[in-house]
Amino acid sequence: MTETSHDEAASFEADPFEQRWIVVSLILLIAFMVTVTIAGFALGFQVPGAESRVDPRTVADSPPWNEPGLRDLGGGEYAAYVISRQYLFDPRTITVPVGSSVTFYLTSIDVQHGFLLQNTNVNMQVVPGEVSRLTVDFDEAGEFDYICNEFCGAGHAAMFGSVIVEADEGGA
Ligand code: CUA
């Protein structure tokens, strides 16, 4: 009995057709791993993280959300706290100098919203009860509009704002 199963194991050979497909799936697997690695490290793709949990009923009254807006962390780094609600982003304008690295923290106090920052790789959902976070390096001056891209009600289309990246005036 033992001998029989040993023999069967030793003589196991996959059908050539099956072997070919095993090779194809391995190649695909490796190709996907390479693609994800390039996207993550070379192209800077980020997965929007649920950075922490908050109570949507009280979040607007507690720091740092009671004063939404920009915080200068020094060394060209900024944190931007943005509250989303029907139908606006607070603040509606964020101004930083060129070369800044801005980490956006967003939360919603009512329904689910979206935050798409045009001409950057930021596109995240803003879910009540959660804080979404993504970082952008602004290497060029200009205006980057952000829009709500999750339908959130009648005033959805009015939900927008912009990041203004000011050119270096040759000072500092
Ligand atoms: Cu907020 Cu659509």
The answer, yes or no, to whether any atom of ligand 1 lies below 6 A from the CB of 32, is: no
What is the structure's pLDDT at 14?
83
For residues 96 and 13, is the Cβ–Cβ distance under 8 A? Answer: no
User: 113-169, pLDDT tens digit by residue?
Assistant: 999 999 988 999 999 999 999 999 999 999 999 999 999 999 999 999 999 999 987
| Euclidean distance between CA atoms 64 and 79, whole angstroms | 10
Residue 22, helix vs strand vs coil: helix
Residue 60, helix vs strand vs coil: helix
pLDDT band, residue 13 (cuts 50/70/90): confident
Nearest ligand 1 atom, CA 156: 2
Domain 49-166 coded CATH 2.60.40.420? yes
* Ligand 1 center from residue 154 Cα (angstroms): 9
The answer, yes or no, to whether any atom of ligand 1 lies below 6 A from the CB of 152, is: yes
Task: List, edge to edge, every strand of the sheet that includes 142-147.
Answer: 93-97, 160-166, 142-147, 113-117, 122-126
Strands 122-126 and 130-138, sheet pairing: unpaired
Nearest ligand 1 atom, CA 86: 1
Residue having the nearest C-alpha atom to atom 1 of ligand 1: 113
Q: Is the predicted pLDDT of residue 7 greater than 60, yes or no?
A: no
What is the structure's pLDDT at 172?
47
User: 19-55, pLDDT tens digit by residue?
Assistant: 999 999 999 999 999 999 988 888 777 777 777 889 9
| Euclidean distance between CA atoms 45 and 166, whole angstroms | 25
Specify the higher pLDDT residue, 58 or 40. 58
- Other beta carbons within 10 angstroms of residue 110's beta carbon come to 14
| Euclidean distance between CA atoms 81 and 90, whole angstroms | 8
* Ligand 1 center from residue 152 Cα (angstroms): 4
User: 80-116, pLDDT tens digit by residue?
Assistant: 999 999 999 999 999 999 999 999 999 999 999 999 9
- What is the number of H-type helices and E-type strands within the chain? 2, 11
What is the structure's pLDDT at 39?
83
This prediction has a pTM of 0.77
